[in-house]
Amino acid sequence: MPNMQKEKTAMPEQLPDVRNKNFSEVALGYSEEQALNEAQRCLHCKNAPCVTGCPVSVRIPEFLALAAKGDFVGAYHVIKSTNSLPAVCGRVCPQETQCEGKCVRGIKGEPVGIGRLERFCADRAMKLMKEKSPDESEGATNSAEDSCIEKKAFTSEGDDGIKVAVIGSGPAGLSCAGDLSSRGYKVTVFEALHKAGGVLVYGIPEFRLPKDIVASEIKELEKKGVDIQCNMVIGKVLSIDELFDAGFKAVFVSTGAGLPRFMGIEGENSNGVYSANEFLTRVNLMKAYRSDYGTPVRAGKAVAVVGGGNVAMDAARCAKRLGAEKVYVIYRRSEAEMPARREEIHHAKEEGIDFRFLTNPVRINADEKGNCRFITCVRMELGEPDESGRRRPVAVDGSEYDIDVDTVIIAVGTVPNPLIRMTTPGLDTDRHGCIITSDGVTTTKQGVYAGGDAVTGAATVILAMGAGRQAAQKIDEYIKGLSKKTE
Amino acid sequence: MFKILKRDVLAENVIRIKIDAPYIAKKAMAGQFVIVIPNENSERIPLTVADYDRSLGTLTLIFQVVGRTTEELAALDEGDSVYSVAGPLGRASEFEGMKKVAVVGGGLGCAIAYPQAKALHEAGVCVDMIAGFRNSSLVILEKEMRAVSKNLIMMTDDGSYGEKGLVTDALRKMIDGGAGYDAVIAIGPPVMMKFVSLLTKQYGIKTIVSMNPIMIDGTGMCGGCRLTVDGKTKFACVDGPDFDGHSVDFDELIRRNNMYKEQEKQSMSLREHFCRLYKLSDGN
Ligand SMILES: Cc1cc2nc3c(=O)[nH]c(=O)nc-3n(C[C@H](O)[C@H](O)[C@H](O)COP(=O)(O)OP(=O)(O)OC[C@H]3O[C@@H](n4cnc5c(N)ncnc54)[C@H](O)[C@@H]3O)c2cc1C
Ligand code: SF4
Ligand code: FES
């Protein structure tokens, strides 16, 4: 008999007033009892609507059945067979619009907490694996020191397998590398920054996705033989054509959509105005919140974050944690249109973030030293639906008002970096700078595949991961085709 | 990788390191920069490529000790390794069509101006160099600069070396004397570049300046390096670092460079005055 409890089993969390002063994970994770209780809420529907909601078709009822019996490791392996990063996805997927959005239990109550259980199974399995081989407990080893020995190796003609290059180490790149390596390829991942992980390390904060989870995923890949080369800005230090010259048979481009957009309003270059990327990179990648790290960050007394996505939520919550007394989120549509995960909007509200919906900034005002002093906004109302299907916000005449802030964080979206596009003849992109593909991953240049945000524009971890796996499949087919031709 | 092969002190607090970085050395061009992280916990800072040797795979960087990060870099010795070096970043300088050029360097800016002068000289362009320092103890690279320029004019603020005065005084004198420059390249503190640009504007001489704003990634990802050129927002790391000196909004640049002044003061251990990399408030 399934457990007919209407609500999801509550997730233990740090109290709002405590957690908004620290960077530790907000959601503490289920206990074994709670996990069993929640897993038993699944009705095991024959048609499994939840699976159709998952971009990588995790076999949800199957893993929930194992979890309900207490076989969490077995459940983990079911998830892992289609999802390379369960511990990450359980934490950051927008489940309410994916699996859980389709769950039958959601009709008369709350859906099964699929994400929470995915997280529990993954955490449990990873903990057990760590206990078995304790050397894994250290973080990823892609430091300058370690990669230096390997660095010499990647260009020498190895006899240890066919070489494939992956550019960018976000979820798309990592999953592609993992799959290719399982298929026997010798994979080198080139990453521009000094740490691997993409948005998972530089964007999403510690309190939502602890960095040691990402580090152990990366460590796992390295143990499989994937070589991760950090500090390699492809397009500058080596071009894609040069990678082919160096003996790589195929290239996967997963460089994300990391270029910040600004609003183009007056005063945007004032001191104290950041792109969310800059602010989050300082905080997460460069650990500006820790006194033992050198990078400064200036989160003032009063902060306005402009935007309504996950990026805006993360920036607002980081600013609060850095000690800002007042943090506003300024969003031009209403709450219903916000693209952020529901859970994060809820968390942000609990933590004391002040939401100003249907509000749009028109000007940032600075003092004579150039320091931001207040932001002038205008109220909006929703008009006719636009091409995205959401009602278009229009400014209300004469509704301008000021909010005193000394910091403004712009989180109105990002676009792909043009570096690869500019240095790779034959690789076509659309007018937004996104790489054009025929089937989601095959580009216009032979041997070059692409996926993740670099193709779709800013999207989700799970879609990027799915694209990485699809590309691994295509690359495998392509390389097998090549060797047939030469036979 | 990134091992320091050679390290010498050029002047008080000005250090030159030669590091093992074969991939970067292969691609580096005058005008480009790298992002350096001295130790794992350090900040990412941009440093201009001062020289490179493609066959030996070495890269030379010159920096002034002005804050916590440059102190950390200065603490590394020959044989030690730098945690991370990424590049070469930014666009290479473009010298097309130049025949006679004045290269103006201010303080540590000379370390950036020198490779440009050298590249011009090697391309057969006639180069005059004007190098300004606060006083004689801060003079760097004189021998190197002399080797690549037809005339080298050394200036100090206090007259303790070379001529007394500002680089703009010397530049005006040369132009008025009929030097006939078709371009001026100015590299140094933002105020110096601002006044050089104002001067050359009067004469209608094309002027290129090299920007040194705050940077994090150096690849276009953060927007922290943005500046206004001709009324438009540009990213110094990808659109520059070289820009038309007559179009740059220097006042905004100077304001933005002061942004972390307070925090830098706090995060610094030895010297009390702020400045990142080549933000040489003391160069001129
Ligand atoms: C703050 C923030 C919060 C988010 N929250 C969520 C969430 O809760 N849930 C969710 O599903 N999604 C979320 N997203 C979106 C999600 O993170 C992205 O869709 C996903 O990471 C895209 O993966 P990717 O592999 O395509 O690219 P990225 O993760 O962007 O990785 C690209 C990597 O390529 C590197 N690179 C770029 N250019 C080069 C080059 N020329 N040479 C070498 N390397 C290069 C970059 O440095 C980067 O490491 C969030 C994004 C941000 C910014
Ligand atoms: S991967 Fe995401 S969508 Fe798929 S089952 Fe897990 S939480 Fe749901
Ligand atoms: S340094 Fe980050 S965009 Fe230029």
pLDDT tens digits along A439-455: 999 999 999 999 999 99
Of all residues in chain B, the percent with pLDDT exceeding 90 is: 69
Q: From residue B241, how far is each of A64, B33, B91, B186, B198 by CA, in Å?
A: 55, 8, 7, 12, 19
Instruction: Give yes or no for a contact between B215 and B236, defined as CB atoms under 8 angstroms apart.
Output: yes
- Structure-derived torsion over alpha carbons of residues B269, B275, B280, B282, reported in degrees to the nearest 10: -60
Contact A237 B27 (CB under 8 A): yes
Residue A259 has its nearest CB partner, among B82, B221, B255, at B221
What confidence tens digit (pLDDT) does each residue in A343-384 have? Answer: 999 999 999 999 999 999 999 999 988 999 999 999 999 888
Distance from CA of B62 to the nearest CA of A (A): 20
Query: Looking up tokens 């007919």, which residue turns up?
Result: A4
Q: What is the pLDDT of residue A43?
A: 94
pLDDT beyond 90 at B205: yes
pLDDT at residue A208, as a whole number: 96
DSSP labels, B75-123: T--TT-B-SEEEEEESPPP--TT-SEEEEEEETTHHHHHHHHHHHHHHT
Main-chain dihedrals φ then ψ at residue B38, nearest 5 degrees: -60, -55
Average pLDDT rounded to a whole number, residues A454-474: 95
User: Is the per-residue pLDDT at B243 higher than 70?
Assistant: yes
Confidence of residue B271 (pLDDT cuts 50, 70, 90): very low
Helix (H) or strand (E) holding A174: helix A171-182
Question: DSSP for A242-262?
Answer: HHHHTT-SEEEE-----EEP-
- Write down the pTM of the prediction: 0.90
Q: Does A20 score more than 60 pLDDT?
A: yes
> Model ipTM?
0.85
In angstroms, the separation between the Cα of residue A129 and the nearest Cα of chain B is: 28
Contacts of A24 (CB under 8 A, 6+ apart): A14, A206, A207
Lowest pLDDT segment from A278-282, A296-300, B81-85, B108-112: A296-300
Please tell me if the CB atom of residue A54 comes closer than 6 angstroms to any atom of ligand 2: yes
CA distances from A271 to A385, A418, B256, B273 (A): 36, 26, 6, 20
A235 torsion bin: left (phi>0), alpha (psi -120 to 50), beta (else): left
The yes or no reply on domain B2-89 and CATH 3.40.50.300 is: no
- The H or E element spanning position B209 is strand B207-210
Q: What is the pLDDT of residue A281?
A: 92
Inter-chain contact A237–B37, Cβ cutoff 8 Å? no
Any CB–CB contact under 8 A between B95 and chain A? Answer: no
* pLDDT per residue as tens digits for the range B8-30: 998 888 899 999 999 999 999 98
Task: Read off the pLDDT of residues A209-241 as tens digits, 9 standing for 90 and up.
Answer: 999 999 988 998 999 999 999 999 999 999 999
**Top mutation candidate among A310, A435, A462 for ligand 1, by most atoms within 8 Å of CB:** A310
Fold for the domain defined by B100-257: Rossmann fold (3.40.50)
Q: What pLDDT, in 10s, does the model give residues A45-54?
A: 999 999 999 9
- Read off the pLDDT of residues A105-123 as tens digits, 9 standing for 90 and up: 999 999 999 999 999 999 9
* Domain coordinates in residue numbering, chain A: 24-134, 158-258+415-486, 262-412
| CA–CA gap between residue B34 and residue B280 (Å, rounded) | 19
Nearest CA to ligand 2 atom 1: A89
- What pLDDT is stored for residue B261 in this prediction? 63
Q: Summarize the confidence of residues A166-189 as an average pLDDT.
A: 96
B87 touches chain A (CB under 8 A): yes
The pLDDT, as a whole number, for residue B283 is 34
As a CATH number, domain A24-134 is 1.10.1060.10
Among residues A418, A443, A415, the alpha carbon closest in space to that of A252 is found at: A443
Class of domain A158-258+415-486: alpha beta
CA distance A98 to B75: 52
Helix pair A60-68, A72-80: axis angle to 10 deg: 170
List, for residues A136-167, the tens digit of each pLDDT value.
444 444 444 444 334 444 544 445 689 999 99
Nearest to B151 by CA among B124, B174, B168, B167: B174
- A262-412 shares the fold of A24-134: no
Examine the pLDDT at B276 and tell me if it is beyond 60. Answer: no
Determine the residue type at B101: V
B108 confidence band (pLDDT: 50, 70, 90): confident
At the fourth CATH level, which superfamily is domain A262-412?
FAD/NAD(P)-binding domain (3.50.50.60)
